[in-house]
Structure 1
Amino acid sequence: MVQLRKMSPKRKILLASSLVLATAGIAGYFVYQGQSQSQQTQLSNQVDSLTVREAVDKSKKTNLVLAGEVAANNSSKIKIDSTKGEIKEVFVKNGDTVTAGQPLFRYSTAQELTAQSAQYDAQIKSNAIAAAQSTASLKWESYQRKLAEVNGLKDKYNKSNDESLLEQIKTAEEALAQSLIDAKNSDNEVKNAQIEAEKAQVTADTENERTKYDTVHADTAGTITSLNEDLPKQSKAKKDEETFIEILDKSKTLVKGNVTEFDREKLALGQKVEVVDRKDPKKKWTGTVTQVGSLTNEASASGGNKQGQQENPNQSKYPYRVELDQADNMPLIGSHTYVNVLDSSVEPGKLALKSSYTFSKNGKTYVWKIKDKKIVMQEVKTQKKGQDLLEITEGLSMEDMIATPKAGMKEGMEVGQNVKA
C-alpha cells in the first residue's frame, strides 16, 4: 500500500488560495455573462432607429463585388513632337469643348516657306498664261491685217491686170504665211503656259497639303481638361515626357475593370448594378453593364493587375464596362470604385426592404416611421421582389427614419425606450 505524503502547511495555504481564486473567476465569468446577456436582451428590446437608406443597404443581397476605375467615354493625351519644330500658334484654351478633327495647335516648320514659294511660283505661271494669250491675240490681229492686205492686192490685180502687182502679192502672201505660223506658235505658247500653270498649282496644292501635318487636330470630341501653356518653352526632355493637351469626352461616365473567368457568367449585358466610391461608401451611383469581354484582357495577362496576378497567376480575366446613369454629382475620372452586382430581382436605386422591416395589420402593410423621435404607423404600398424582399412603391423615401418592428411596440414610443416597459 502506497503511503500518502503529508502536505506541508505552506502548500495547503497555496492550494486553498488557488481554489478561492478559481472559484471567484468562474463566478465572475457567469456574472459577466449574465450581465452581458441581460444588456443584449435589454438593447434588443429597445426601439431602434435607422434611415430607410441604411435599411435598404442592409436588405441588399450582393451576388458579386468587382473592383473598377472611373473613366470618361473617351480620352486623348497629346504631347509635343520636338522633331517637328517649335509651336507657332495654339488655337484652343483650357476648358474649351472641341470636336473630332478640330485644329488644336500648329508647328512652325520649313514646310510653310516651301508651300508659300510653290504658291508664288503657281501665281507667276498663272500670270504667264495671260501674257501668252495677249501675245497670241496680237499675232492673230497681225495675221488678219496681212490677210486683208493680200486680199486687197488681189482685188486690184483682178480689176487692173497690172503685172507689177503680182510681185507685191507674192511678198504679201509670204508675210501672211509667216504671220500664220507666228500666230499658231503663240497659241502653242498659251497651251504650254496653261500646262505649266496647272503643274505649278498641283505642286503648290501638294506642298500646302503637307502643311496640314504641321497642325495637330483633336482625335476625339470632348472638353480640354488640361493645357500646359508653359510646356512649349521647356526643354526637349520635358516636352517628350509631359502631356501638352488632354481631352476628355464626358458625354458618358464609365467604370472599367476585370472579371475573373469564374465570375464572368454572373455578369450580363444590360444588367443594372450599384457603384460605390471606394473612399467614401456613402457615395453611390447606379449603372448598366455595357460590355463583358469574350477575350481575356491582355493588359491583365501581362501584369496590369500585379496583385491579382500574384494571388492567382493562372486565372484568366476579362474586361467589363459599366455605363453610369447621369446624376448631379458624378464620380471623379480616375477614382476607384466597387461594383456591386445585386440580386437581379430588385433594380438598383429602388427602395426595397426585407419583409422584417414591415408588419401587417387589418390587411394593410405598415412600417414604424420615426417622427420627432417617436414611432408612428406608416402605411406603405409594396410589391414582392424575390424571396424576402418588398419594394416600397408609396409611403416612404430614402431620407425617412424607421424602427425595426418588435413585439409590444406601440405608437408614441420614443427611440431607445424599452419595448417591455
Structure 2
Amino acid sequence: METAKRIREENEQVHTSRKKKWILLGILVILFISVILSIAVIEVKKSKSKPLVLINPTEKNFTKTKTLSGRVVQSHAETIYLNATKGSIQEIFVKEGETVTKGQKLFSYEGSTVAAELGQAEVNKKLAETSDTQMKEQITSLEQDIREAESTNTTETTNTTETTNTTETTNTTDTTNTTDTTNTTDAVDNANIATKAITILSLKAELNKANAELRAAELKVEKYTLQAEKLKAELETLTVISNTAGVISNLNQNVGQGFRAKDNQQLAIMQIASNDPFQVEGKLTEAEKAKIASGQSSIVTSKVQANMKWKGKISEVSDYPTYKTTANKDKDTQQETIPYYSFKASLDSQKGLYPGFYTTVEVVVQSKQLLAVPETSIMGLGKSTYVYVQKKGKIQKQKVETGQKRGKWVAILKGLKEEDKLEENPSWIVRLGTSLFD
C-alpha cells in the first residue's frame, strides 16, 4: 500500500517537472518571436525612412598570391683562395668582421726574390740610360767636328785658287818664277787636302761606331725597362686586393704568416660578403615553379620583425633542380627523389633584416581587373548571394557570383554589368518592386 502511494507521488512530481519545462520553452519561443517581430518592424520603419543609395559596380585590381618560405642572404659573397705558385704568406692585413672597400689590400705573399730581381733590373736600366745619354753627347760632338773639318777644307781650297790666279795675272813677264811658285803652292795644298780628308774619314768612322753603340744602348734601355715593368707587375700580384666592397667572413684561422698551400690544393683563406642589398633565397617545388617567374612582385615578412613588411620582386628562378631523397622506413620500398628549384627575391629595403633571418614571401602570381561592389551590398551566404538592383525603375533581387575579397570590396564574377545600379547598403527587409519614383 505504501509502495503504491510512493510510486504515485513520484509520477506526479515527474509530470509536474515536465509541465514546467514545456511552459518555460513556450515562454522562450514567444520571446524569440517577439524579438524577431520587433526587429522586423524596426527594419521596415528604417527601410521606409532611409533613402536608397544606388551605386555602380567599379573595377578593382584583385591579386592571387603564393606563399613561399625563404631566408635572408648576402646578395654576393666572393671567396678568396690561396695560390701555391706564389709562395708563402707574408702578411694578412684584415680581420674577421672587418669592412673593406674595393681595391683594399687583403694579404700578401713573400716576394724577396722578385724584389731583388726588380732592383737589379732598375740598376741595369739606369746604367743603360746613362750610356745612352753619353753616346748621344758623343755623336753630337762628332757631328760638330765633321762640319768644322769640312768647312775648313773648302775655305783653304778657295784661297789657294785665288792666290794662284792673282800670281799668274800680275807676273806674266816672269814665267819661270811664277811656275816655281805655283808648283810649291799646289804641293802644300794637296797635302793639306789629303790630311783633312783623312781626318774627316776618321771622324765619320767614329760617328758610325757611336751610332751603333747608341742603338745598342737604346736596346738595353728598352730591355731593362720591359724587365722592370714585368717584375713590378709580378710583385704587385703578390699583394691580393678586394674586388668588391663588403665584410670579411670565414677567415681561415689555420692560415698565417709563413703558411704555404700545397700544389693543386684549393684552399680558401677568406670570404667577402658584399655590401649590396640583401636577398631572400629559397626552394620551389615543381608545382610552385610552374607559377613563380622572375619579375613577379612580392611582400616579405619575418616573425622576428612581426610589424614590418618589405617590398620586392622575384629576381631569379633556377631551371636546374636539386634533388632531395625522402626518408622511407620500409627498406624494401625504393626511396623517392623530389626535385627542388632555387629562387631569389630582391628587396627594395633591408632595414631591420639581417642575413640568416627566416622569412615568408608572398608572391603575386596573378593580377586582374574585376568588377567589384562594397561588401555591404552583398546579401545571403555561400552560393546563395544576391544584390538589389534597379530594373525598369524598381528594386529587384539579382543573384551574383562573388570572388576574392579586397578590403571592403568583393569581386563579382557573374551577375552584374558595369552599367548596373545597385543598392549600396540594403536593409534586411527590402520591399521588392518598390518604385524609385514614388
TM category (shorter chain) comes to 0.5 to 0.7
Unaligned runs of 5+ in 1: 1-60, 347-354, 357-384, 393-421
Specify which of 333, 342, 346 is matched with residue 355 of structure 2: 333
Within 2, Cα distance between the matches of 1:321 and 1:193? 62
Q: Aligned residue for 2:289? A: 264
Deviations 1:395-414 (A, max 9, x none): xxxxxxxxxxxxxxxxxxxx
CA RMSD of aligned residues (A): 4.1
Within 1, Cα distance between the matches of 2:88 and 2:149? 64
Q: Aligned residue for 1:390? A: 407
Within 2, Cα distance between the matches of 1:102 and 1:306? 44
| Equivalent residue letter for 2:69 | A
| Equivalent residue letter for 1:204 | A
In the TM superposition, what are the counterparts of 1:14-413 in structure 2 within 5 Å?
64-81=66-83, 83-88=85-90, 95-99=98-102, 101-109=103-111, 110-158=113-161, 159=163, 161=182, 162=185, 163-224=187-248, 231-233=255-257, 244-277=269-302, 280=304, 282=306, 285-293=309-317, 295-297=319-321, 300-301=322-323, 313-330=336-353, 332-341=354-363, 387-390=404-407
Contact in 2 for aligned 1:98/1:218 (Cα 8 Å)? yes
Q: Structure 1 pair 150/235, CA: closer, same or farther in 2 (3 Å)?
A: closer
Q: Structure 1 pair 291/391, CA: closer, same or farther in 2 (3 Å)?
A: farther
Within 2, Cα distance between the matches of 1:97 and 1:173? 75
Within 2, Cα distance between the matches of 1:90 and 1:129? 43
Unaligned runs of 5+ in 2: 1-62, 165-181, 369-374, 377-401, 410-438
Within 2, Cα distance between the matches of 1:77 and 1:84? 18
Shift, 1:179, TM fit: 1.2
Deviations 1:204-246 (A, max 9, x none): 22232223321223233334456679942375579x8985443
Contact in 1 for aligned 2:315/2:346 (Cα 8 Å)? no
Q: Structure 1 pair 117/229, CA: closer, same or farther in 2 (3 Å)?
A: farther
Q: Aligned residue for 2:22? A: none
Contact in 2 for aligned 1:289/1:320 (Cα 8 Å)? no
Shift, 1:149, TM fit: 4.0
Within 2, Cα distance between the matches of 1:148 and 1:202? 44
Shift, 1:257, TM fit: 2.0
Within 1, Cα distance between the matches of 2:141 and 2:305? 91
Within 2, Cα distance between the matches of 1:169 and 1:144? 15
| Equivalent residue letter for 1:69 | R
Larger-Rg structure: 2
Contact in 2 for aligned 1:268/1:289 (Cα 8 Å)? no
Contact in 2 for aligned 1:62/1:340 (Cα 8 Å)? no
Shift, 1:136, TM fit: 1.4
Q: Aligned residue for 1:360? A: none
Contact in 2 for aligned 1:223/1:247 (Cα 8 Å)? yes
Q: Aligned residue for 2:46? A: none
| Equivalent residue letter for 2:292 | L
Q: Structure 1 pair 249/87, CA: closer, same or farther in 2 (3 Å)?
A: same
Contact in 2 for aligned 1:74/1:220 (Cα 8 Å)? no
Within 2, Cα distance between the matches of 1:89 and 1:277? 42
Shift, 1:313, TM fit: 4.5
SS of residue matched to 2:300: strand
SS of residue matched to 1:232: coil
| Equivalent residue letter for 1:255 | V
Scaled by the length of structure 2, what TM-score is found?
0.54
Scaled by the length of structure 1, what TM-score is found?
0.56
Q: Structure 1 pair 67/140, CA: closer, same or farther in 2 (3 Å)?
A: same
Within 2, Cα distance between the matches of 1:157 and 1:84? 78
Q: Structure 1 pair 64/139, CA: closer, same or farther in 2 (3 Å)?
A: same
